[in-house]
Amino acid sequence: MITALLLFWPALAALLVLLIKGQGAKKVAFVAALVEFALAIVATTGFNAADGSMQYELNLPWVESAGIGFHIGMDGISLLMVLLTTFLVPLIILSAFKHDYKDPNIFYALILFMQTGLIGVFVALDAFVFYFFWEVALIPIYFVAAIWGGVNRIKVTFKFFVYTIFGSLFMLAAFVYLYFQTTGTGIANHSSDVQAFYQLALSAESQSWIFWFLFIAFAIKMPVFPFHTWQPDTYTESPTQATMLLSGIMLKMGIYGVLRWLLPVVPMGVSQWDELVLILSIIGIIYASVIAIRQHDLKRLIAYSSIAHVGLIAAGIFTLNEQGLQGGVIQMLSHGINVTGLFFIIDIIYRRTNTREITSLGGITQNAKTLSIFFMILLLGSVALPLTNGFVGEFLLLMGVYQYNAWFGAVAGLTIILGAVYMLRMFQGVMFGTKSEVTEGFTDLTMNEKAVLIPLVIMVFWIGLFPNTFLSISEPAVMNLMTIINR
């Protein structure tokens, strides 16, 4: 029941927000998002962390004659993703308080509506429900990015939209195929339930091509090299809130999809192609890191760093060992928190100086001490310094990759060095040095901005110091997943 509430509350709130004229919409949206977060906390407190199976399940008939059920529920992995989503969305809305977007009611309604899509993806336990929400999450973010975005927004978001739908349609075709391989219960001959998919015993040959149909959809969303070409432009051109949603939460849809719908469904397909996926991911890590070093635009730099980080997550989960999978789950949280914070700081700087060029910035530390501290913490989290959240995830991921293949581990480990290079180079260029013309009158953080950054920074340390709070939630689910994969 609470799953359904979590799922539909944002959509209902979106309708409410739509009716509010003027800038009051953002306040209502913020409160609605907080309520949603409270719901997620309630769900967490009632959650039995020792149990790796699905909890809070709800299974209603949807297209009954076809065996398609509206089946939702959460295990530890889903719960963490739901927590991440519900934690970030209020902050993302709060971060927009200083902006006066035109048509605010539509803007905030779309964000809340997208939250329904995101939650739906994370709690779906039926293939067609999953696909349904997968696309439902895309439509609002497309409009947010394409209407409120930068100069080149139309061309860029067009590519983003067509590219991602192109991938998801392959996933749909694969789901339809898998659906017909299942044996259902009741009046329907087939079932699209996740458990029915897990019980499939397909030939290695069909698993092989289904793997690619599913993988393309997820790889485009993440994005994994070489399916990443839409990403830097879209992140750069979108309004900051959309960029935060895309990088903080939406790309986790792709990773989550791999965990729930790819690895356990076609394990033989995975074992045929995992090496290639790891190679692609590691190429992506190095490639994106090197490009990030060469970037002058702050938003583009973080966009490329995001590709590098996601590459490591992808590499980790495709190792199929416990460290890799657990590392992937915890790193999804960490990356979501860090990248959201970093994009927000870039937005703060941009709003005060009207530029995102590293070369025209400098000396901000002298004026804005608090900003510098927050920036530094989030940045260190991102470069995986011990005691920060990034360290836990990257350590586990690299350990996983190392166990899979020591050479892969060694090359992927370069991400730590390269990450430090581009991040510190950025920090140096933006924050240190002499003041430039535009940073002359730079003011420190306002209350509103602190309100966004403080929760994020707390999370950086929480995950960094006590990762077990979160690892213990996902562990039974990950073990369960591994049993299904190795069946």
Query: Judged by CB under 8 A, does residue 153 bind another protein?
Result: yes
Stretch that binds another protein, among 80-88, 127-135, 236-244, 280-288 (CB under 8 A): 127-135
Question: Residue 74, SS3?
Answer: strand
- How would DSSP label each residue in 142-159? HHHHHHHS-TTHHHHHHH
- Figure out which of the listed residues 170, 212, 287, 461 binds another protein, where binding follows CB under 8 A: 170
Which of 77-88 are b and which e, b meaning 16 or more Cβ less than 10 Å from the residue's Cβ?
bbbbbbbbbbbb
- Figure out which of the listed residues 108, 179, 374, 470 binds another protein, where binding follows CB under 8 A: 179
The size of the interface with another protein (CB under 8 A), counted in residues, is: 32
Chain center to CA of 91: 15
Site for another protein in 226-255 (CB under 8 A): none
Could you tell me the smallest distance in angstroms from the CB atom of residue 223 to another protein?
A: 17
Kindly state the tokens that stand for 439. Answer: 């940073």
Residues in contact with 440: Cβ distance below 8 Å, sequence separation at least 6, in sequence order: none
Binding flags for another protein, 262-301, as an x/- string (CB under 8 A): ----------------------------------------
Site for another protein in 41-80 (CB under 8 A): 61-66
Q: Is 141 exposed, middle or buried (0-12, 13-18, 19+ CB in 10 A)?
A: buried
C-beta of 189 vs 468, nearer to another protein: 189
Query: Judged by CB under 8 A, does residue 4 bind another protein?
Result: no
Q: How far apart are CA 382 and CA 391, in angstroms?
A: 8
Q: Cis link prior to 226 (omega < 30° from 0)?
A: yes
- Figure out which of the listed residues 5, 49, 176, 283 binds another protein, where binding follows CB under 8 A: 176
Which of 416-448 are b and which e, b meaning 16 or more Cβ less than 10 Å from the residue's Cβ?
bebbbbbbeebbebbbeeebbebbeebeebeee
Chain center to CA of 51: 25
Query: Judged by CB under 8 A, does residue 180 bind another protein?
Result: yes
- Figure out which of the listed residues 46, 53, 158, 443 binds another protein, where binding follows CB under 8 A: 158
DSSP assignment, residue 186? T
Stretch that binds another protein, among 44-52, 170-178, 325-333, 369-377 (CB under 8 A): 170-178
- Interface residues with another protein (CB under 8 A)? 61-66, 128, 131-136, 139, 143, 146-147, 153-154, 158, 161-162, 165-166, 169-170, 172-173, 176-177, 179-180
